Homo-oligomer: A and B are copies of this chain.
């Protein structure tokens, strides 16, 4: 390990091993074509000195940064109310770590930060970006596209024409919603309501579409707009109860709003699932399992989505000649039955 302070350079290692800097560089970078005797000497010197390559120097010549930016744009609320991003981050982190790539986190709040992010990305400090762009009208995608950095989006981006020119990872929101609603219908429920998510996000819009796929002629009053939060779920449920006291099932756009709905149903004296069956979306364990009653819900593998995003970005960077435009990925969902429906 040697003393702190002056960290050893390639030069020092070369001197100690009795070879040239070039040779040390080759060994350190695992290039073939170095006699094993020398390689051994070099590795020993590296260990003895506690040599760690200087990334700045390396980047300067290679123009690679071994770092990717994770951009999370979320005006205030959601990021911190539900563990969604945390899980996604974990998946990303695992994959990046496995490739020895650093994760630079860029949190933005409002437009003011957009310019900063754009500058950072186009400034050439990272090899790519993983972006969570949740709102239909978000200007960030455009800025990022302009930055000329390889990018993978988390969730289908909502901007027009985006889908084919852009790589993203998402779950099958629409199909998942369909399976939830079909499940409720299969239970014999006939007044099935939907609490939407924030409809300026594609995931919410897609889930609503899925609901409509199964129930094309549904009473419009059976759809109440929520915002993915428990409070929003409560409000929506109250509205629903007001308008249609005879609802016998609710498909909520996520577990958090389902939890809110559950509370309102209980307060109204209704029993779940006897009087009203409830299905959520996400299978956010701490929420779904702890709900009262435990929530039947549509599971998506959030951590895996994160891992995939990172893998996709990294793969694209192999400089593989044909970018193999590994199109976007849409993961399947799975209905998890518990007690609420």
Contact = CB atoms under 8 A, between A and B. Distances in A.
A113 interface: yes
A90 B80 contact: yes
Best-buried of A67, A86, A120, A263 by chain B (most CB within 10 Å)? A86
Interface in A84-129: 85-87, 89-90, 93-94, 97, 102-107, 109, 113, 116, 119-120, 122-125
Contact of A104 (B85, B104, B123): B104
Interface residues of A, number: 58
A125 to B, nearest CB: 5
Contacts of A219: none
Given A97-B116, A231-B290, A292-B263, A105 B89 contact: yes
Q: Count identical subunits in the complex.
A: 2
A32 interface: no
Best-buried of A50, A56, A125, A148 by chain B (most CB within 10 Å)? A56
Interface stretch (A57-65, A153-161, A188-196): A57-65
Contact of A60 (B54, B81, B107, B125): B54
Contacts of A60: 54, 56-57, 60
B125 A290 contact: no
Contact of A124 (B7, B146, B148): B7
A79 interface: yes
A333 interface: no
A332 to B, nearest CB: 22
B148 A4 contact: yes
27 contacts: A4-B122, A5-B148, A7-B124, A52-B119, A52-B122, A52-B123, A55-B56, A56-B56, A67-B104, A79-B90, A81-B83, A81-B285, A82-B83, A83-B83, A85-B86, A86-B86, A90-B107, A97-B116, A103-B104, A103-B106, A103-B107, A105-B105, A230-B286, A230-B290, A231-B289, A256-B286, A259-B290
Interface of A: 1, 4-5, 7, 50, 52-57, 59-60, 65, 67, 70, 79-83, 85-87, 89-90, 93-94, 97, 102-107, 109, 113, 116, 119-120, 122-125, 146, 148, 229-231, 256, 259-260, 263, 285-286, 289-290, 292
